[in-house]
Amino acid sequence: MNKQEIQEEPRLSLDESGQNKKCYICAKSFNFRKKHICRFCQNAVCSEHCQKSRPLENLESQPICDLCFQEEIRAELRAESQNHIKNLDEEFKDMQNTNSRLEREHFEKTAQINRLEFEIETASSTSNTEIEALNTELDVLKSQNSTLQELYRKTKEKLFIIKESEGNASENLSRVQEELEVLRRQSEILKETKEGLIVQLDKINGKLKGCLNIEHVNKLLCPTCSFKLKEAAGRRIDAPSILENPSICMSVDDERESIIQSVRDMKDELTKQSSRPGEGGGCWII
């Protein structure tokens, strides 16, 4: 290809006889210059324009003219560029593929996201409704709970009051029982006292009866005093008859005192009536 391009160029240094007399590049005569043949374009060039060498087919380091060298370099660069372009093309295709794949994935993901968003929204609204229902239920339970607590508190108070009143009742009962016991003991003591008093009264009655029995007294008096006593007794006082009856005269101290007083009065009366009291031996015994 290079050869054809070069051949097409009207730079050939061939003279009319077809001999290479001048440098193909600088057109200087070979009269005083060494002539080189470029193995790539087969043109004759001077030393100045054939300083480089390149491998050609199976041969190494073949002389090459500057034009062919530039062509070679250009071709190399072109090939390199084409290779690079090809690589870029491939990369671009890969990128396009990747891009379309990513776009597809993007659409899929977006669709998925939309679906998920919709699901989330649905779930959220559902859960909101559920939460509201649960809140309402919770409120009801709370109010029930407070009612129950109130009931529990009242019941507890009632129980406490009942327990307290039970305690009071049992306390009262035991107090009443104690009081009854005291009363019973007092009653026993009173009974004993009464019995003792009755015995004492009997004794006193007996003694008084013995002392104040007018017949008994009369026996102890002289005939004069006895007569006077009988006279006084018959005339006046019912003391002896009272004395005869211990159930009347010994019932209480007052009556006893009055009886004794009556007897004293009787004695005074007798003394007044006697001109000489105590005559006949002074036998007044009361």
Residue 25 vs 259, nearer CB to Zn ion: 25
Q: How far apart are CA 83 and CA 3, in angstroms?
A: 23
In the complex, least distance from residue 106 CB atom to Zn ion, rounded to whole angstroms: 57
Residue 34, SS3? Answer: coil
In the complex, least distance from residue 41 CB atom to Zn ion, rounded to whole angstroms: 3
As a whole number of angstroms, the longest Cα–Cα distance in the chain is: 239
For every residue of 53-116, DSSP letters joined together read EEEETTEEEEEE-HHHHHHHHHHHHHHHHHHHHHHHHHHHHHHHHHHHHHHHHHHHHHHHHHHH
Residue 91 vs 279, nearer CB to Zn ion: 279
In the complex, least distance from residue 28 CB atom to Zn ion, rounded to whole angstroms: 5
Phi, psi (5° rounding) for residue 271?
-65, -45
Residue 225 vs 259, nearer CB to Zn ion: 225
35 to each of 41, 43, 251, how far by Cα in Å? Answer: 14, 10, 196
Residue 201 vs 270, nearer CB to Zn ion: 270
**In the numeric block, which tokens belong to residue 267?**
């004695």
Q: How far apart are CA 235 and CA 269, in angstroms?
A: 11
Residues contributing to the site for Zn ion (CB under 5 A): 23, 25-26, 38, 40-41, 46, 49, 65, 68, 222, 225, 280, 283
In the complex, least distance from residue 8 CB atom to Zn ion, rounded to whole angstroms: 14
Residue 68 vs 243, nearer CB to Zn ion: 68
In the complex, least distance from residue 20 CB atom to Zn ion, rounded to whole angstroms: 11
